[in-house]
Structure 1
């Protein structure tokens, strides 16, 4: 499958020092030797490679994600100029969808207007809608980022709703799930992404320090009184608030993708399903890499040895790591291939399957939690459709 989403690192540093950041506080160190901001020649070659890939595969649409670090460190004008350059290079009939993912602290009214003028929608990352939810999101001097982030979020919600892409939030077991969800609704996100923290069998996520590889059969163990499912329980609580008819105040991508997969519909979710991954990353030095989440596993896990100066994106499609991400059930552990939830779960997020010395052919460290969530969503769907006409 050709790449359809191009994640371009506009700036490789961040103005925040979030205490849990897997990118800068995790095992990967490749960012240290790269330029802070992507130079002009990197951006030019990237735009040309995207155009080449779109023309080769006759793509009708392309998703461009302006990322970091904190991409707004390069300024809204440069983000807009690069977006325009990519758009101009695409073949006729190919539509560009651009999003910038930001911590919201650098958003200004003028900056948002510049982004909107270039057709760039703004997604923001927050840990919740209250100061208490965001205590780990601090700057490099240890000062809270919440006041500035709230100002940026309010600017989007109140004055630029057409440019507002939504909020990305990582599940935190220390927060009350329903309170966290309700607090984010006050910021009126059109879409909410709930992500599980990046962890694996060798570096378990918070609250799962005792997890062991043999817990891969936890879907069955749990129903006989085995391993707890803290993340599944947390997500189920939010689902129950979100799901009842008339109360879906925003879209929640994880739940919508789960419902679609349960109904046998296609779904483009990295965390669920068997659809092949179609995203690729370009770093500030022009290196072509796999998605950043792999960097939570080990140093250089996302590296391909390729770059936009010497290699096409088609060459990246043939990289063994990318091929494994596109192999569907063939790349999964035997436990996953025999699971009745296979087509919905899809083995979970690829990065969450890692185990040192054993690679990625393992069930997700969140196996039991995904089992809990999927079955709960299925029950909600069944209840909602009971008695409906055929």
Structure 2
């Protein structure tokens, strides 16, 4: 497999200081058997294997995403050592290595932010909307809301000269218009994203996402897109419908290669596949015994990767098949057919796509010279 860019999600910590109601990570009880953090020995082996991977594939871009659980539970010293190793590897190899961290923000402090600024670490913080919405889902292990601490973390980032990206697992029953205005006006964010709730075809009672995303698009496109506000998922849908290749996983034909390294050294496909069951990620590969690229030949990685290119008949007949490409592949899974289904959000995606396409069409004009 020829690679120019690779995303590696490093699970530096398996536990979390929050108990979010919808978390896909703890939906798989097997994660509780994992070590609490990535060991120093496995960290050393990870960078040895990364060096070999970069050399053998002449990799130009590597994106290391520190994840969990809650990655800040890894601790300051371990984070500093990890980032130092990444910087040294980039210098030796000539590969452009970018480190990012996805956090709930509760444990962020000035010392950590100084470290992240030193190593130019991108920060994404999860916040699900105003206090009344956020604290309904993103709670501590004692059942208390986390909103106030998250807002404090965003303010700390800005005081440190870092503008974090904001991630929102959007409640489909919420107002898309209100949430866009909340993020853009109240939080002053120029870059945020609405994540679609992760379910499979086997889950029951999954709410429609159409109305929320249509409202969000209308508000963003007409009022905030001209101001330079980016909502990654909606921007990706616009790109796909205009015939471009959006660099998002949930819409379009882009297949950004992603690999997960677990705290026990396991090498696995994308973490969200855990919603399909533990068997969907248990490759048997490990850093101590296997090269990272061994996963690219493993059926558990290949099957969802190739499913983006092999759509079921009803998808191939759809007017939006070229732009949608079946949507997020995890949302197509069922125990009976694997990934050979349309998305459980198929009707919603069609409705959203039609609305966006019609809006784009009515907004276009042709200039004729002379």
Aligned to 1:179: 178
Distance 1:87 1:164 in 2: 21
Q: Determine helix, strand or coil for the equivalent of 1:167.
A: strand
Aligned to 1:18: 20
Aligned to 1:226: none
Distance 1:146 1:78 in 2: 27
1:7 aligns with 2:9: yes
Q: Determine helix, strand or coil for the equivalent of 2:63.
A: strand
Distance 2:236 2:347 in 1: 18
Tell me the CA shift for residue 370 of structure 1. Answer: 0.8
- The question of whether the paired residues in 1 share the 8 Å contact of 2:176 and 2:214 is answered with no
The match for 1:363 among 324, 337, 342 is: 342
Distance 1:38 1:389 in 2: 61
Aligned to 1:345: 324
Aligned to 2:102: 101
Provide Cα deviations, 1:275-322, integer angstroms capped at 9, x if missing partner. Answer: 224011000000011111111122332221111111112211111122
- The question of whether the paired residues in 2 share the 8 Å contact of 1:292 and 1:302 is answered with yes
- The 5-angstrom pairing of residues 57-68 of structure 1 reads 57-68=57-68
Q: What's the TM-score once normalised by structure 2's chain length?
A: 0.92
Provide Cα deviations, 1:82-113, integer angstroms capped at 9, x if missing partner. Answer: 12212322454311111100001111122111
Distance 2:290 2:367 in 1: 54
Unpaired segments ≥5 residues, structure 1? 208-229
- The question of whether the paired residues in 2 share the 8 Å contact of 1:200 and 1:297 is answered with yes
Distance 1:197 1:297 in 2: 14
1:79 aligns with 2:79: yes
Q: Determine helix, strand or coil for the equivalent of 1:352.
A: helix
Say if 1:380 and 1:51 are closer, same or farther in 2 by CA, change over 3 A.
Answer: farther
Q: Determine helix, strand or coil for the equivalent of 1:124.
A: strand
RMSD: 1.9
**Of the two structures, which has the highest relative contact order with CA contacts closer than 8 Å and spacing of 6 or more?**
1
Q: How many residues align?
A: 364
- The 5-angstrom pairing of residues 120-159 of structure 1 reads 120-157=121-158, 159=159
Aligned to 2:217: 239
The match for 2:304 among 294, 311, 325 is: 325
Q: What's the TM-score once normalised by structure 1's chain length?
A: 0.88
- The question of whether the paired residues in 1 share the 8 Å contact of 2:7 and 2:64 is answered with yes
Q: Determine helix, strand or coil for the equivalent of 1:98.
A: strand
Provide Cα deviations, 1:353-387, integer angstroms capped at 9, x if missing partner. Answer: 11122211110000011111112111222122134
Aligned to 2:40: 40
- The question of whether the paired residues in 1 share the 8 Å contact of 2:309 and 2:325 is answered with no
